[in-house]
Amino acid sequence: MERIALKKLVDWNNNKRKKPLIIWGARQVGKTYLVEELFAKKYYKNSYIYVDCKKEDEIREFCSKTANAEKIIEYISLRKGKQIDKKTLLIFDEVQECPNIISSLKYFCQDFREIPVIATGSMVRIKLQRETHKRGSRENDKFLFPVGKINQITIYPMTFDEFLMNSNKMLFDAIKRAYENKQPLDKQIHELAMEQVYKHLLVGGMPEAVDAYIDENNLLEAREILKVLYDNYLSDMELYQASQEAVLRSRALFQNIYRELNKESKNFSPGLIEEKSKTRDYATSIQWLTMAHVVNQSFQLKERITMPLMPDSESSFRLFLGDIGMFSYQSGINAASFVSSERDNTLSGIFFENFVANELIAKEHKLFYWRGKSSVELEFVIESNNKLYPLDVKKGRGTLNSLKKFSNHNKFEYAIKVSKNNYGYNPEQKLLTIPFYFIPFVAKDLADGKMPIK
């Protein structure tokens, strides 16, 4: 399957001053597939060495005892029977099993910068955090992160544009062309595109689930895979926390994201999970889950906004699941709801909010929302090129009451209403209306400092 992140790897590879690359990301989001199948096999063919730190015990043991890049290169060359030089891509996968490899990247950068190196794995940051703060270790024995000596990329579940690129390339091209020309799609094509949005809400962006849906055109098969992945994520909580109490809290937190968002305020409320509990009781769990890219955190902004956007230390916040398919599975709503004619009445707005949150995160936006007096709110606020862009997410038509309240306190370039309605721009209201299927392109433009209007 195609992944947009491949371009980032190609750009890295073409950079004459590239450093060793670390690829972050949650479990099962396609990091290994991207690095080996899409990148290495095409751009290095037979000139790459792949090391699985979970399976290859001897290499893992050797690398755990030294950060000397020269020794590591010599050992792996002899072990694999292939000379490692500037034409050889060296891939370390599952590096959470051997954090010392991350430490060695400093010396790869200093002494062997001509050799391209990629390290990847799940929950790497968590393992590094533990190494850095390990109790009982002498200061000079603790893990040192190679600050300034690496390049970094984060991989996320497949966004809607990637989902469509792989499932219906012609429709993807039509949508992209319409966005670039800043024109609405014809009504029939618009409806077809919205059909795909609803399917993405159900299937999500985990590559295995998407692949099953594309291969079999079977939404239920994709749903079964999501169930397994969801259960695996729950099992992984053992790896996130040190104590059994923390494990149970992390699982409870993960399993209650839908319930937290489905209540009136949507803000995180610990009492919903465990009676009389406080937010601080879940602080470590939230830190681990966001660090592992399993959960995304959005911070509340107060009435008058200052830039750059910063979370208030005492701010309320919301949590979104990192994959919209898992969110839909967690909701417990019947899969048929996403393809039935009654879906607009069945699906609440939070499905679309979680969807938009994931699209923004994948384009490297930080998540903020605005809440004014009398409970008026805007689901997201984006800062781009030192300008504000409030985003209003509506599953239906909705009103502009929140935007009017927001404009009483804040200046903004223009507002963006994300809904099932077709594309349009009202210069008098400074309001850009975009359909849900345009959000990946709008998010990318704003991330690049571009204005998504003519």
Structure tokens at 288: 């681990």
Among the residue ranges 5-9, 78-82, 137-141, 376-380, the one predicted with the least confidence is 137-141
Per the DSSP assignment, residues forming a β-bridge with 377 are 371
Q: What is the pTM of this model?
A: 0.94
Maximum distance among all Cα pairs of the chain, rounded to whole angstroms: 69
Q: Give helix 69-80 / helix 100-111 axis angle, nearest 10°.
A: 100
CA distance 396 to 374: 22
Above 80 in pLDDT, residue 129? no
Rounded to the nearest angstrom, the gap between the alpha carbon of residue 246 and the centroid of all alpha carbons in its chain is: 24
Q: Which CATH class is domain 6-155?
A: alpha beta
| Three-class secondary structure of residue 384 per DSSP | strand
Q: What is the mean pLDDT of the chain?
A: 91
Is the Cβ–Cβ distance between 443 and 359 less than 8 Å? yes
CA distance 369 to 356: 12
Tens-place pLDDT, residues 227-264: 999 999 999 888 766 688 888 999 999 999 999 999 98
Tens-place pLDDT, residues 137-156: 555 555 667 889 999 999 99
Give the list of residues 6+ apart from residue 264 with CB closer than 8 angstroms, or none. none
Structure tokens at 325: 């398919």
CA distance 114 to 111: 9
Q: Where are the beta strands (DSSP E) in 123-254?
A: 151-155
Go through 300-330 and write b for each residue having 16 or more CB atoms within 10 A of its CB, e for each that does not. Answer: bbeeebeeebebeeeebbbbbbbbbbbbbbb
Structure tokens at 386: 């030192």
Between strands 317-321 and 387-393, the pairing is unpaired
HSE (CB half, 13 Å, CA atoms) of 135? 1
Between strands 89-93 and 380-384, the pairing is unpaired
Is the Cβ–Cβ distance between 10 and 35 less than 8 Å? no
What is the structure's pLDDT at 6? Answer: 98
CA distance 60 to 350: 44
Please provide the size of the chain in residues. 454
Structure tokens at 420: 């099932």
What is the structure's pLDDT at 122? Answer: 80
Domain ranges of the chain: 6-155, 160-447
What is the structure's pLDDT at 216? Answer: 85
Above 80 in pLDDT, residue 125? no
Residue type, 253: L
What is the structure's pLDDT at 17? Answer: 95
pLDDT category at 441 given cuts 50, 70, 90 is: very high
Between strands 367-371 and 377-378, the pairing is antiparallel
